[in-house]
Amino acid sequence: MNKNPQKTLTKLIRKYRRGIATSEEAAFLDKYYSYFDREVKISDSYSQEEKEILGNKIFKEIRAKIENPPVRTNISVYFRKSYRYAAAAILVMLCVGALLLLEKTNDIGPGGSKALLTLDDGSTIVLEKAGSGTLATQGNTSIIKQESGLLAYDISASISVDDEIVGTNTITTPLGGEYQVILPDGTKAWLNAASSIKYPTAFKGKERVVEITGEVYLEVSKDKTKPFIVKVDGMTEIKVLGTHFNINAYPDEGVVKTTLLEGSVQVTNPSGAPVTLSPGQQSTTDSQGIILVQNVDIDAVVAWKNGTFQFNSLSIDEIMRQISRWYKVEVIYQNEKPLGEYSGIVSRNTNLSEVLDMLQLSGIKCKIDRERLIVL
């Protein structure tokens, strides 16, 4: 038996939302949450002593109802004890000002490996539907989807790269999609949801130039003779020789964030002098071309690439934009947006309800309505 009150209550909430709670469990949660909604208005103006007094009062009332339930033969001893733990959990949560209600709704699954490959002639290939093997041949370059789903390029060894006929390819991920590709020079690129990368089928000349939108993580193949240049939004450029870095350039973020994990990069734009980053630093370029540099938690920045949401003191807007892209939901604020900053870690490979379970512990109250996520 789980003797952790908060875990017991969380389990009941999850079962209720998924529609698998017993009638007794559902009645318990409905009755007492309804009671709290009517009688209890938690506010920052409450002192800790007032919260404890109020919590004790509610606890006694709940316990009295549990200890003297109506005579029903189909209620097991196990759940009567579970209710007692749930009541204690409510007291604990109330005393810290974190009692929340998530209504029973339909759930939404996580995103996955999805992308569209656009070839030089304008034709397209839906990558998640394509089988493994050679997908297309452009000049002397073969585009191959590996068994793992990874996309790669194979340039014929019989000719020089400088003699290769060069076309342009673009990989685009939808909302709820992500993808990984090995570019013709061996550079590895990971695309987050609603992102794209445009690149040549062979890197000729003195530079290796790609264009990106959204969020892309790059591990650049080293070549001192050919700098690797990433162009973003027609203004910002990131120049590297061989390094690992992340670029976040979603239009709705309003800025371009370049985060360096390894090596060195130079960030430039037409409005100011170039800035060179060291590992662990992040540059933020705004619409006026102003570049700010700060040290950041790189694990949090690239958590998406590693299959995790990691929120470190983020605003509700920042969190909801990430959730919206991955779960392909429209976020609606029913009332004024909650203020403050929120933190938490949860897998991206779980249903949306699991993410909401984590957010509720930070004080964010939501409900799912089909393809909409409503922040209450």
Residue range 161-188: mean pLDDT, rounded: 90
pLDDT > 60? residue 241: yes
Residue range 75-99: mean pLDDT, rounded: 44
Can you give the pTM of this predicted structure?
A: 0.72
Output DSSP code: residue 231. E
The phi, psi pair for 6, rounded to 5°, reads -65, -40
Q: What share of the chain is helix, strand, coil (3-state, %, to 5)?
A: 30, 35, 40
CA distance linking residue 135 with residue 70, whole number of Å = 67
8 A C-beta contact, residue 274 and residue 294: no
Share of the chain above pLDDT 90, in %: 52
More reliable by pLDDT, 41 or 154: 154
CA distance linking residue 144 with residue 330, whole number of Å = 35
* 373 token code pair: 């996520």
Residue 251: CB atoms within 10 A of its CB come to: 9
8 A C-beta contact, residue 329 and residue 319: no
Residue 86: CB atoms within 10 A of its CB come to: 25
**Binning pLDDT at 50, 70 and 90, where does residue 13 land?**
low
Model confidence over 128-154: pLDDT tens digits?
999 999 999 988 889 999 999 999 999
Model confidence over 253-281: pLDDT tens digits?
999 999 999 999 999 987 778 899 999 99
Structural domains in the chain plus CATH codes: 1-104 (no CATH), 112-301 (2.60.120.1440), 307-376 (3.55.50.30)
Provide the pLDDT for residue 361.
80
Provide the pLDDT for residue 72.
44
Amino acid at 72: R
Amino acid at 367: K
- Coil/strand/helix, residue 88: helix
